[in-house]
Copies of this chain bind each other. A is one copy, B any other.
Amino acid sequence: MEFFNKTGKVAVGSRLRMLTEKITEDAAKIYEVYGIGLQPKWFPVFYVLSAGEEKTITAIAKEIGHSHPSVSKIIAEMGKKGLVAEQKDKTDGRRNMVSLTPKGKEITIKLQDQLLDVNAAIEAISAQTTHDLWKAIEEWEYLLEQQSLLSRVVEAHKKREAAKVTIVDYQPKYKAAFKALNEEWISTWFKMEATDYKSLDHPEEYILDRGGHIFVALYNDEPLGVCALVKMDDPDYDYELAKMAVSPKAQGKSIGWLLGQAIIEKAKQLGAKNIYLESNTILKPAISLYNKLGFKKVPGRPTPYERANIQMELDLRS
């Protein structure tokens, strides 16, 4: 299919479907040629029953990977043709025990030849290919079980978006953004406190001039995230990670992560032995980000903020 060369691999789904269709179409004809009176779609069910044991509908469904209504329907159809017998389980009234009838077993024998021939034909095709379809499917099944396609795509999206984000040093022109981004989340969850106004209205005096740093995350030259590294006057801690704020419209771009990384990098450059932070457990994504960055919870300390109910630290020496 010329078409698929253009679209690229996004169309694996469509392409797989078409190959599947072609094969099942021929499968139907093959069953007809051998005149066994078995519908191709019955095959998986028939196959598991051919071992001889009685099985329940759900057990069959689980084994062949179909939904149970699908098996239920197939069994009904096969029953009509006299290939299977259904019987309620005596000890468990819910169970419908299914097994092959003598007529069904007869077909098992006839089917052997067909299976041999189909297998031979498929092996012959495989022998002519340099890429093994069977094994490739197996690998895909495994990998998709590890992580779904969806979450892989989301991951790819984040990675690509993150590449568009640049982290830069604070400049006076970002003053408004620094305040606005912080005010946005603070007033959403809590209310602005006096200490907030001090540092947000005067970042130069209260943060930079005292040996701190501020980073700004730009996306298309627009400041969508900010974060400060504040020098602390404390025997236990050198710096505090504070005023981390990311615009809600910039979700999924890893801005928080990139800002955190920049802050940690800067602290290391400054020879800090650790970083301290205060937050609130109501801010789940924030706490989860801090965890990912390596911060650990520590016992509470005095704080000027009402909203702080959790303290964390990152040890830079380990």
Contact = CB atoms under 8 A, between A and B. Distances in A.
Contacts of A13: 20, 23-24, 27, 40
Nearest to A116: B160
A129 B126 CA distance: 18
A16 interface: yes
Given A137-B133, A140-B129, A141-B19, A120 B160 contact: yes
Interface in A115-136: 115-126, 128-136
A63 interface: yes
Given A3-B63, A23-B16, A136-B133, A11 B43 contact: yes
A108 to B, nearest CB: 13
B122 A10 contact: yes
DSSP class of A's interface residues: helix, strand, loop or mixed?
helix
A152 interface: yes
A120 B230 CA distance: 39
A139 B124 CA distance: 13
Given A20-B13, A23-B16, A140-B133, A65 B119 contact: no
A160 B24 CA distance: 23
Nearest to A28: B150
A12 to B, nearest CB: 6
A47 B115 contact: no
A78 to B, nearest CB: 16
Contacts of A63: 2-3
Given A10-B115, A157-B117, A137 B19 contact: yes
Contacts of A205: none
A283 interface: no
Contacts of A281: none
A241 to B, nearest CB: 30
A150 B29 contact: yes
Contacts of A59: none
Nearest to A132: B131
A261 interface: no
B17 A156 contact: no
A23 B18 contact: no
B149 A9 contact: no
Contacts of A23: 12-13, 16, 144, 149
A105 B215 CA distance: 38
A14 interface: yes
A316 B133 CA distance: 45
A139 B15 CA distance: 12
A42 to B, nearest CB: 11
A109 interface: no
A19 to B, nearest CB: 6
Contact of A133 (B130, B133, B155): B133
A141 B9 contact: no
